[in-house]
Amino acid sequence: AAAGILCYVGAYVFITYDDYDHFFEDVYTLIPAVIIIAVGTLLFIIGLIGCCATIRESRCGLATFVIILLLVFITEVVVVVLGYIYRAKVEDEVDHSIQKVYNRYNGTNPDAASRAIDYVQRQLHCCGIHNYSDWENTIWFKQTKNNSVPLSCCKAALSNCTGSLTRPMDLYSEGCEALVVKKLQEIMMYVIWAALAFAAIQLLGMLCACIVLCRRSRDPAYELLIAGGTYA
């Protein structure tokens, strides 16, 4: 179950990143998600090993289980550290690339940059980089010469909005940069909290396995059976 949830968290980060990837130039921000998916897959296999070792009361199997869990625990600590590092870098990444993305906007649906901007403005209820007036500095706005912003800037509740700057009350007033940064930082926090939560579960698993190992090593019946003796 833990492995499945970890894989889900990693997949969620990938899917969300795909919607916002135009605002990133550094693909290494996906490293925590890649690691957490790999850990989730490995954790499923480790869980099977632990169950089999416990059922068979295998000291060797349980010892292997503890060692592998320890390695995975260390990996999840690395995920947490990387998550915090890239969470801090999100603002710089978005600030560095968002102006370029808006300048590539051409208003056509097949264009990837245009789709990305329209998607973000509709989903986050924002317009422009800092506010809707930023559109006046874009190439698309100067070429169209109709004093309007994209329809994705229109408030969802309005059906007759044309994006005209003469009716600013019809447009989202908040800029997209701050909201994109906030959204991506929230996603990175999901990864961090998931890694911390399952690191705690693995600590519990290691503790339980160690208790079983200690009991087996102190059980005289177990030692006699290992040695080939009998116990009555």
- What digits encode the pLDDT tens for the residues 88-147? 777 777 887 888 888 888 877 666 778 888 888 998 999 999 999 999 988 898 888 888
Does position 185 have pLDDT exceeding 80, yes or no? yes
- Enclosing domain of residue 77: 57-229
Per the model's pLDDT, the better-predicted residue between 179 and 18 turns out to be: 179
Instruction: Answer whether residue 11 is part of any domain.
Output: no
Question: 218 pLDDT band (50/70/90 cuts)?
Answer: low
Q: Is the dihedral of CA 131, 136, 138, 144 positive or negative?
A: positive
Query: What pLDDT score was predicted for residue 217?
Result: 58
CA angle in degrees (0–180, nearest 5) for 100-105-111: 115
pLDDT for 208: 78
pLDDT at res. 35: 79
The answer to whether the beta carbons of residues 149 and 165 sit under 8 Å apart is: yes
pLDDT of residue 181: 87
Tell me which DSSP letter residue 171 carries: B
Percent of the chain with pLDDT over 90: 11
* pLDDT for the residue numbered 223: 46
Q: What is the tally of structural domains in the chain?
A: 1
The CA distance from 101 to 113, in Å, is 6
d(Cα 209, Cα 77) in Å, to the nearest integer?
Answer: 20
Q: Give the pLDDT score at 231.
A: 44
User: Does the pTM of the predicted model rise above 0.85?
Assistant: no
User: Does the residue 43 lie in any domain?
Assistant: no
In a domain, 195, yes or no: yes
Specify if 18 maps to a domain. no
Kindly state whether residue 8 falls inside one of the protein's structural domains.
Answer: no
Any bridge partners for residue 164, and if so which? 148
Which uninterrupted H or E stretch holds 190?
Answer: helix 176-218
Query: Is 168 a member of any domain?
Result: yes
Low-confidence winner among 54-58, 93-97, 179-183 (lowest mean pLDDT): 54-58
- Evaluate whether residue 89 is within a structural domain: yes
Q: How far apart are CA 91 and CA 94, in angstroms?
A: 5
Contact 191, 146 (CB under 8 A): no
Angle at 100 between CA 95 and CA 101, to 5 degrees: 95
The pLDDT value given to residue 224: 43
Mean pLDDT of the chain: 79
- Tell whether the torsion through CA atoms of 176, 106, 22 and 137 is positive or negative: negative
Give the pLDDT mean for 199-221.
72
Is the residue at 50 inside a domain? Answer: no
**pLDDT tens track for 14-51:** 777 766 766 665 556 677 777 778 877 877 777 777 77
CATH of the domain at 94: 1.10.1450.10
Task: Evaluate if residue 196 carries a pLDDT over 50.
Answer: yes
